[in-house]
């Protein structure tokens, strides 16, 4: 018995040493078969147990079980250790790491954020509304005549249920005036949709930011001051603003406004067609009929409204000559606006 026990202990000791110095999974598997396989050393030694007396067998069995479980456990641990330390030889770990450039805001989103921040400093808050509107909020409440061209299916995307994709963010102004009492001072950035033929300056899907200020004794002079301040904050102190008479169904009086060309500082160039001015959008004093549609007394309150295209501002700010560049997702174009790389 003492000889068999000694041989089992020796097999355990030798097996553990061989497992420890094994350098790959194949070598570990070969050691397992050598000691624990059907024809392995431990299995061959256990064939002698039948020749022992009943009194000797328990002690030898205990030693044999310890030998098998210890060797099996050592094999599994070694395999796990080798697996965690395995390096893909197809990868050259001596190469320097590749720097991944971080993302940045799209130029349209950047202009929206900057414009909103400017108007926040002027006391405006942000309001939002649905992209899918009804005719009342998109046209009727804005004093748009039933025969106005903007209502035609050639200009507006209508849905089968009679609703439509908003053609401007002005419906947000209506919804705000319906739900709140003056004073109201809001800006409404968002997407708009029109059946325009895409070209260098037009898109069927674009963004606007509109503003509304309603209170007692609001004047046209305040509107001019707001737009002038915005122009200076967005494009610099040297930018001037020009106002021209115009007509919009929802404002009276109405006007269009231009910013002096930031490309040539108002001297005249190809961008501004030698005029020195860049057309921005329209504005004016809220028409009394609009106030009546939302239950606001035009005898007590006055207000002004203005709007401008975000893409138009982005094109001026970044000197982009084609609006389609903003939506083609060309990484070479967008990378120019990632100032962190």
Task: Find all residues with CB under 8 Å of 144, minimum gap 6, and list them.
Answer: 150, 151, 249, 250
What pLDDT does residue 339 have? Answer: 54
- CB contact burial 231-258 (16+ within 10 A = b; e otherwise): bbbbbeeebebbbeeeebbbbeebbbbb
> What band does 55 get if pLDDT is binned at 50, 70 and 90?
confident
Q: Is the pLDDT of residue 234 over 70?
A: yes
Burial label, 162 (beta-carbon count in 10 A; 0-12, 13-18, 19+): exposed
Query: Helix, strand or coil for residue 326?
Result: helix
Q: Is the pLDDT of residue 86 over 70?
A: no
What pLDDT does residue 19 have? Answer: 84
* Domains of the chain in sequence order: 2-84 (no CATH), 107-337 (3.30.930.10)
On whether the CB atoms of residues 202 and 196 are closer than 8 A, the answer is yes
> What band does 313 get if pLDDT is binned at 50, 70 and 90?
very high
User: For the residues 156-177, what does the mean pLDDT come to?
Assistant: 95
- The dihedral over CA atoms of 233, 286, 181, 219, expressed in degrees to the nearest 10, equals 60
More reliable by pLDDT, 273 or 128: 128
What pLDDT does residue 294 have? Answer: 94
On whether the CB atoms of residues 171 and 133 are closer than 8 A, the answer is yes
Mean pLDDT rounded to a whole number for the chain: 88
User: For the residues 24-34, what does the mean pLDDT come to?
Assistant: 85
Least confident of 183-187, 200-204, 216-220, 299-303: 200-204
What pLDDT does residue 279 have? Answer: 86
Tell me how far apart the alpha carbons of residues 125 and 211 are, in angstroms, rounded to a whole number: 10
Tell me how far apart the alpha carbons of residues 211 and 229 are, in angstroms, rounded to a whole number: 14
Nearest CA among 267, 262, 264, 265 for reference residue 280:
262
Q: Is the pLDDT of residue 270 over 70?
A: yes
Give the range with max mean pLDDT: 37-51, 56-70, 195-209, 211-225: 211-225
Tell me how far apart the alpha carbons of residues 53 and 272 are, in angstroms, rounded to a whole number: 111
How much is the pTM? 0.69
What pLDDT does residue 341 have? Answer: 41
User: For the residues 209-222, what does the mean pLDDT come to?
Assistant: 96
61, β-bridge pairs? none
On whether the CB atoms of residues 180 and 212 are closer than 8 A, the answer is no
Nearest CA among 281, 122, 113, 129 for reference residue 190:
129
């Amino acid at each position: 018995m003492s000889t068999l026990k000694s041989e089992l202990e020796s097999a355990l000791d030798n097996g553990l040493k061989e497992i420890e110095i094994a350098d790959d999974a194949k070598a570990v598997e070969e050691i397992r078969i050598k000691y624990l396989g059907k024809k392995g050393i431990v299995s061959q030694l256990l064939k002698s147990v039948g020749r022992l007396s009943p009194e000797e067998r328990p002690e030898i069995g205990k030693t044999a079980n310890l030998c098998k479980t210890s060797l099996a456990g050592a094999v599994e641990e070694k395999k796990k250790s080798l697996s965690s330390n395995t390096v893909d030889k197809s990868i050259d770990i001596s190469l320097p790491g590749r720097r991944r450039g971080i993302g940045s805001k799209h130029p349209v989103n950047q202009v929206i954020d900057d414009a909103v921040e400017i108007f926040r400093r002027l006391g405006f808050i942000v309001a939002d509304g649905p992209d899918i509107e009804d005719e009342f909020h998109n046209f009727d409440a804005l004093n748009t005549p039933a025969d106005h061209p903007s209502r035609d299916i050639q200009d507006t995307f209508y849905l089968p249920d009679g609703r439509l994709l908003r053609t401007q963010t002005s419906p947000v102004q209506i919804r705000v005036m319906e739900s709140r009492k003056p004073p109201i001072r809001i800006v409404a950035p968002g997407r708009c949709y029109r059946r325009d033929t895409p070209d260098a300056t037009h898109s069927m899907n674009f963004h606007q930011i509109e503003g509304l200020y309603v209170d007692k004794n609001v004047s046209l002079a305040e509107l001019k001051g707001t737009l002038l301040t915005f122009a200076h904050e967005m494009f610099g102190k040297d930018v001037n603003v020009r106002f021209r008479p115009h007509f919009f169904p929802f404002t009276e009086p109405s006007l269009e406004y231009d910013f002096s060309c930031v490309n040539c500082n108002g001297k005249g160039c190809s961008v501004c067609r030698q005029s020195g001015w860049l057309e921005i959008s329209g504005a004016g004093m809220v028409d009394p009929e609009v106030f009546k549609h939302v239950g606001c007394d035009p005898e007590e309150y006055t207000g002004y409204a203005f709007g401008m295209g975000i893409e138009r501002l982005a094109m001026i700010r970044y000197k982009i000559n084609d609006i389609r560049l903003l939506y083609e997702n060309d990484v070479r174009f967008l990378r120019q606006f990632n100032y962190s790389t």
